[in-house]
């Protein structure tokens, strides 16, 4: 319930910011605004202040600002001829193409402006980041039969370049993966004193970081979580324990655990842990994993080392602006790769995914909430600028045509374009909902 409420609230904030942009610029241009709505469908709350009716509607998946002379209905274009000269001057369609463009562009512009405000606040209050993000991109473990394994990566390899772009940190590697998706990934790695080139084919690239290629950062064998009711808790393991060995076999990294635990199946095993500079032997009897029944578990998770970073006012503004520009670039690259066919449509998410992401962020801290809000706002702003009729970008395209052709596009042509645009949006929504539902049920398994 918290997840759903948090997701709806965050989505409502983004829609409100978007529609507020249209509303404010329309008012500045002297256009009469008839309705300001958050959501669609039946009214839940409605109140009129001045000449505008403000509404909250039942379906929280968008919103709209209805202006005089815009769209159909008795208050729209169909009634334009019935307006008095004074009213006509305040209608949307009576404005110059420049003013109409400003009103339309204001919505996406507000969404793109919001991150420049909230991300500096994030850096000002401070953020917890995984420590390995800012460390050299050195591989701690290679997942068997992964793309990285097939390319020849070994634990200890340090990535120095990707397609000749320098990789200084793990974050650099994750970012460059998105840029080069759809092309062969040529990694230059340092292995001891050697420089090697390892290639991952284009079809095995990923948007989800180096980990999705089977390349994992170094992970100390320190316990960060003990699951209630699982063998580790029963045996007396505690958060902060360093696992030194299992049945006498040394544990050098967290990734050694799975191999050593599976080696003896469900038999009791002696775990030697270091706690407050003392070595303690604990007898642990793993249990069979319930979903597929092939793995044995003890119920522990690694301790994720984090770094808390807080900036001063000026530095936070710079860091927030840089991060915003970076996210805008990554979103544009993603859309380009999607239309080029280099990115699977499985990566498209809908409202359910947005609600889940927002809900998870709401249960952490302010920095996480603001970061997710900024990220979603950027996506909403850029998607609305796509030249698809129905979206703001489609209306901007109509205005561009009017400037170039020196006459408005014919009403019939606009109607056909909007019908095509509506079909595209409906197809996209169906795909997004399908992906959401698949992810939801897969996550429940």
CA–CA dist 389, 403 (Å, integer): 17
DSSP H or E run through 334: helix 313-339
Is 19 tagged catalytic?
yes
Q: Give residue 17's domain range.
A: 2-110+386-412
| Cα 271 from Cα 261, distance rounded (Å) | 10
Q: What is the pLDDT of residue 76?
A: 46
What pLDDT, in 10s, does the model give residues 305-359? 888 888 899 999 998 999 899 888 888 877 877 777 766 666 676 666 766 676 6
pLDDT of residue 208: 76
Q: What is the pTM of this model?
A: 0.71
DSSP-derived 3-state class of residue 249: strand
243 with 340, same domain? no
Identify the pLDDT of residue 344. 67
Averaged pLDDT score across all residues of the chain: 85
Q: Return the pLDDT at 241.
A: 93
Residue 288 maps to which CATH number?
Answer: 2.30.42.10
Tell me the sheet residues that pair with 166: 161
Q: At which of 321, 347, 374 does a domain end?
A: 374
Indicate whether 434 belongs to any domain.
no
- How high is the pLDDT of residue 233? 92
Question: Are 94 and 19 in a shared domain?
Answer: yes
Residue 77 reports pLDDT greater than 90: no
Asked, for residue 205, whether it belongs to a domain, the answer is yes
* Residue 423 belongs to some domain of the structure: no
Last residue of a domain, one of 302, 326, 343: 302
90, part of any domain: yes
| pLDDT at 209 (0 to 100) | 83
Distance CA 395, CA 380 (A): 16
Of 286, 302, 318, the domain-final residue: 302
pLDDT at 80: 53
The helix or strand, by DSSP H or E, that contains position 280, with its residue range, turns out to be strand 278-284
- Statement to judge: residues 186 and 246 lie in one domain: no
Tell me the pLDDT band of 78, cut-offs 50, 70 and 90: very low
- What is the separation of C-alpha 90 from the centre of its chain, rounded to a whole number of angstroms? 40
Token representation of residue 329: 């670039």
Residue 380 lies in a domain: no
| DSSP for residue 138 | B
pLDDT tens for 405-429 read: 888 888 888 888 888 888 888 887 7
**Same-domain status, 92 and 19:** yes
The string of pLDDT tens digits covering residues 87-97 is 788 888 888 99
Kind plus residue range of the DSSP H or E element containing 189:
strand 185-191
User: Are 184 and 235 members of one domain?
Assistant: no
| Averaged pLDDT, 355-366 | 69
pLDDT at 83: 67
262, pLDDT greater than 70 = yes
Alpha-carbon gap, residue 104 to 99, rounded angstroms? 9
With beta carbons less than 8 A apart as the criterion, state whether 421 and 393 touch. Answer: no
My answer on whether 206 and 228 are in the same domain is no
Give CA–CA dist 335/261, Å, rounded. 43
- Give the DSSP per-residue string, 18-37: HHHHHHHHHHHTTPPEEEEE
Determine the pLDDT at residue 186: 94
Helix, strand, coil abundance in the chain, percent, nearest 5: 50, 25, 30
Of the chain, the percentage scoring pLDDT greater than 90 comes to: 35
What whole-number distance in Å separates Cα of residue 308 and Cα of residue 25? Answer: 40
Q: Which pair of structure tokens corresponds to residue 381? A: 């702003």
Exposure string over 262-289, b if 16+ CB within 10 A, otherwise e: eeeeeeebebbbbeeeeeeebebebeee
Taking 90 as the threshold, does the pLDDT of residue 143 lie above it?
Answer: no
Compute the distance between CA of residue 385 and CA of residue 39 in angstroms, rounded to an integer: 20
Check whether residue 228 and residue 248 sit in a common domain.
yes
- When pLDDT is cut at 50, 70 and 90, the band that residue 236 belongs to is very high
pLDDT tens digits, 89-121 = 888 888 899 999 999 999 999 999 999 999 999
Distance between CA atoms of residues 201 and 185, nearest Å: 6
Is pLDDT above 90 for 432? no
Report the pLDDT value the prediction gives residue 307, as an integer from 0 to 100: 81
**Closest to 119 (Cα-Cα) out of 325, 307, 308, 305:** 325
Rg of the chain on CA atoms, in Å: 27
Domain assignment of residue 356, yes or no: yes
Specify whether 29 is located in the same domain as 91.
yes
Tokens of 181: 């998706």
Q: Do 197 and 228 belong together in one domain? A: no
Q: Do 6 and 81 share a structural domain?
A: yes
Q: Count CA atoms within 13 Å of residue 52 on its CB side.
A: 16
Q: Check residue 409 and give its pLDDT.
A: 85
The stretches of 35-168 forming alpha helices (DSSP H) are 85-89, 97-125, 147-151
Number of domains within the chain: 4
Question: Hey, what are 200's tokens?
Answer: 């991952």
Q: Are residues 106 and 179 in the same domain?
A: no
Is there a domain that residue 197 lies in? yes
Q: How far apart are CA 250 and CA 243, in angstroms?
A: 9
Which residue's entry shows tokens 């400037």?
403
Euclidean distance between CA atoms 349 and 355, whole angstroms: 10
**23 or 417, higher pLDDT:** 23
Q: Are residues 171 and 80 in the same domain?
A: no
Any domain includes 156: yes
Q: Round to whole Å and give the CA distance between 210 and 140.
A: 12
């Amino acid at each position: 319930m918290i997840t759903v409420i948090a997701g709806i609230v965050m989505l409502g904030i983004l829609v409100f910011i978007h529609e507020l942009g249209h509303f404010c610029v329309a008012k500045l241009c002297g256009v009469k605004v008839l309705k300001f709505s958050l959501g669609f469908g039946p009214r839940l709350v409605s109140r009129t202040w001045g000449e505008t009716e403000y509404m909250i509607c039942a379906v929280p998946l968008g919103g709209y600002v209805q202006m005089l002379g815009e769209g159909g209905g008795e208050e729209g274009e169909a009634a334009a001829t019935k307006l008095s000269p004074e009213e006509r001057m305040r209608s949307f369609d009576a404005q110059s193409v420049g003013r109409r463009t400003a009103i339309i562009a204001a919505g996406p512009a507000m969404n793109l402006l919001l991150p420049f405000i909230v991300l500096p606040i994030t850096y000002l209050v401070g953020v917890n980041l995984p420590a390995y993000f800012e460390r050299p991109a050195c591989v701690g473990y290679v997942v068997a039969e992964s793309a990285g394994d097939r390319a020849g990566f070994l634990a200890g390899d340090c990535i120095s370049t990707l397609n000749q772009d320098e990789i200084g940190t793990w974050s650099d590697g994750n970012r460059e993966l998105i840029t080069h998706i759809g092309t062969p990934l040529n990694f230059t790695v340092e292995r001891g004193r050697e420089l090697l080139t390892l290639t991952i084919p284009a079809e095995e690239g990923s948007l989800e970081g180096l980990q999705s290629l089977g390349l994992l950062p170094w992970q100390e064998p320190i316990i960060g979580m003990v699951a209630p009711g699982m063998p580790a808790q029963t045996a007396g393991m505690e958060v902060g324990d360093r696992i030194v060995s299992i049945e006498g076999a040394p544990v050098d990294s967290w990734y050694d655990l799975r191999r050593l635990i599976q080696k003896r199946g469900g038999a009791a095993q002696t775990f030697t842990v270091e706690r407050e500079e003392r070595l303690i032997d604990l007898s642990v009897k793993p249990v069979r994993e319930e979903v597929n029944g092939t793995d044995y578990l003890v119920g522990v998770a690694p301790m994720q080392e984090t770094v808390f970073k807080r900036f001063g006012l000026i530095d936070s503004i710079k860091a927030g602006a840089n991060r915003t520009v970076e996210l805008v670039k990554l979103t544009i690259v993603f859309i380009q790769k999607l239309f080029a066919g280099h990115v699977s449509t499985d990566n498209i998410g809908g409202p359910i995914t947005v609600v889940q992401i927002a809900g998870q962020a709401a249960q952490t801290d302010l920095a996480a909430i603001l970061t997710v809000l900024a990220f979603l706002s950027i996506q909403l702003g850029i998607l609305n600028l796509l030249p698809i009729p129905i979206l703001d970008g489609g209306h901007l395209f109509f205005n561009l045509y009017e400037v170039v052709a020196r006459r408005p596009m014919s009403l019939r042509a606009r109607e056909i374009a909007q019908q095509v645009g509506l079909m595209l949006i409906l197809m996209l929504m169906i795909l997004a909902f399908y992906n959401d539902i698949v992810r939801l049920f897969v996550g429940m398994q």
